[in-house]
Amino acid sequence: MPELPDLEVYREALAARVVGRRLIEVELSNPFVLRTAVPPVTDTAGKVVRDVRRLGKRIVLALDDDYYLVIHLMIAGRLVWLPESRRAAPRNTLARFEFESGTLALTEAGTKRRASLHCVHGARALADLDRGGLDLETATLAEFAERITRENHTLKNALTNPRLISGIGNAYSDEILHRAKLSPLALTHKQDAASIAALFAAARSVLAEWTARLREQAGGQFPARVTAFRPEMAVHGRFGKPCPACGAPVQRIVYSENECNYCARCQTGGTILADRALSRLLHDSWRRSLDE
């Protein structure tokens, strides 16, 4: 799922191309991508884009007369910019947004249709889509500490909970926890002030550094390669490869459709965290530490 750094670069690239431009029409290739019926999406035709915002993990097109088009990419959704010279959209396009300056295509790989489009009218209707997560770019340490300890979760779950923290998912939570040298399974209520401060600093620095890096990689072009797996990452998606800080092999916990990557030496004092399925299968053969 695209997270804050990817979405911010998407937002900047889209704003440069559509703010002040007229939306000619929205064409739905898959009607189920639209999750609202009132107001009809046809009401946005002919309106000028006044702003492009980020709302958690959503991209918001703010139009004339207090209309908003809200795009949620979910896991496999992506945005593709088609300049005026290229109007043919990719085959996996769910919706096309035709502007005076070009066309934005909302695409989704695979067969599961999770990406969504909401058309809402009024600031209150837009606010109803906000999950309420804290924006780390403007948050203070005190605000972060209150949010992260509001409920007793693992640090991994707390960082990725959109009601608590905004814009962080599976990939960057791994990177943040590695930078902070904290276990992904440590409980929030057991963290002292120093650990929370380290987590806050790591979150701010990781998100800022990756936003700058992705912006530089885009080079002023519309982002073409948005992925959760990048070779420059420290631990995410790097199972078995050496940790860049200590050289120990990166470990993982597999659950549901995701996996958590971490360094046992840097983050858990050498303890290998139990993978629920694999540790049950291996029983006594399960290695519990790097030494084993």
CA dihedral 271, 276, 281, 283 (to 10 degrees): 40
Q: Write down the pLDDT at residue 66.
A: 97
Q: What whole-number distance in Å separates Cα of residue 89 and Cα of residue 160?
A: 32
Question: Cβ atoms within 10 A of the Cβ of 79, count?
Answer: 23
Q: Write down the pLDDT at residue 228.
A: 87
Amino acid at 50: R
Q: Write down the pLDDT at residue 287.
A: 63
Q: Of 127, 150, 183, which marks where a domain is finished? A: 127
Are 27 and 98 a contacting pair, CB within 8 Å? yes
- Does 286 score more than 50 pLDDT? no
Q: Write down the pLDDT at residue 88.
A: 73
pLDDT bucket at 108, cuts 50 / 70 / 90? very high
Q: Of 87, 104, 127, which marks where a domain is finished? A: 127
Give the pair of three-digit tokens for residue 4: 């804050």
Q: Write down the pLDDT at residue 207.
A: 97
Among the listed residues 189, 78, 57, the one whose alpha carbon sits nearest the alpha carbon of residue 132: 57
Q: Which residue has the tokens 């593709």?
A: 80
What pairs with residue 78 in β-bridges?
A: 107
Q: Write down the pLDDT at residue 106.
A: 96
Q: Write down the pLDDT at residue 86.
A: 63
Residues 161 and 55 in one domain: no
Residues 200 and 150 in one domain: yes
Let me know if 291 is exposed, middle or buried by CB neighbors in 10 A (0-12, 13-18, 19+): exposed
Mean local confidence (pLDDT), 204-230: 94
Q: What whole-number distance in Å separates Cα of residue 243 and Cα of residue 221?
A: 32
Q: Write down the pLDDT at residue 275.
A: 66
Q: Which residue has the tokens 């559509």?
A: 18
Residues 158 and 237 in one domain: yes
Residues 60 and 180 in one domain: no
pLDDT bucket at 280, cuts 50 / 70 / 90? very low
Q: What whole-number distance in Å separates Cα of residue 92 and Cα of residue 203?
A: 34
Q: Of 96, 127, 158, which marks where a domain is finished? A: 127
pLDDT bucket at 290, cuts 50 / 70 / 90? low
CATH code for the domain of 64: 3.20.190.10
Domain that holds residue 46: 4-127
Give the pair of three-digit tokens for residue 17: 């191309």
User: Global pTM?
Assistant: 0.92
Work out the percent of the chain whose per-residue pLDDT is above 90: 83
pLDDT bucket at 111, cuts 50 / 70 / 90? confident
H-assigned helices in 31-181? 123-127, 141-148, 155-160, 170-180
pLDDT digit string, tens, across residues 141-152: 999 999 999 999
pLDDT bucket at 274, cuts 50 / 70 / 90? confident
If one counts the domains in the chain, the total is: 2
Residues 121 and 160 in one domain: no
**In whole numbers, what is the pLDDT of the chain averaged over residues?**
92
CATH code for the domain of 256: 1.10.8.50
Higher pLDDT, 86 or 157: 157
Mean local confidence (pLDDT), 275-279: 51
Q: At what angle do helices 193-218 and 141-148 cross, to 10 degrees?
A: 110
Q: What whole-number distance in Å separates Cα of residue 108 and Cα of residue 130?
A: 23
Residues 198 and 233 in one domain: yes
Helix (H, G, I), strand (E, B), or coil: what is residue 165?
A: strand
pLDDT bucket at 202, cuts 50 / 70 / 90? very high
Higher pLDDT, 252 or 286: 252
- Is residue 32, in this structure, part of any structural domain at all? yes
Residues 272 and 149 in one domain: yes
- Is residue 132, in this structure, part of any structural domain at all? no
Residues 189 and 122 in one domain: no
Q: Which helix (H) or strand (E) holds 206?
A: helix 193-218
- Does 281 score more than 50 pLDDT? no
Question: Cβ atoms within 10 A of the Cβ of 43, count?
Answer: 15
Helix (H, G, I), strand (E, B), or coil: what is residue 249?
A: strand
Q: Write down the pLDDT at residue 254.
A: 86
Mean local confidence (pLDDT), 59-83: 96
Mean local confidence (pLDDT), 200-225: 95
Strands 258-262 and 67-72: unpaired
Strands 67-72 and 116-121: antiparallel
Question: Cβ atoms within 10 A of the Cβ of 285, count?
Answer: 8
- Does 105 score more than 80 pLDDT? yes
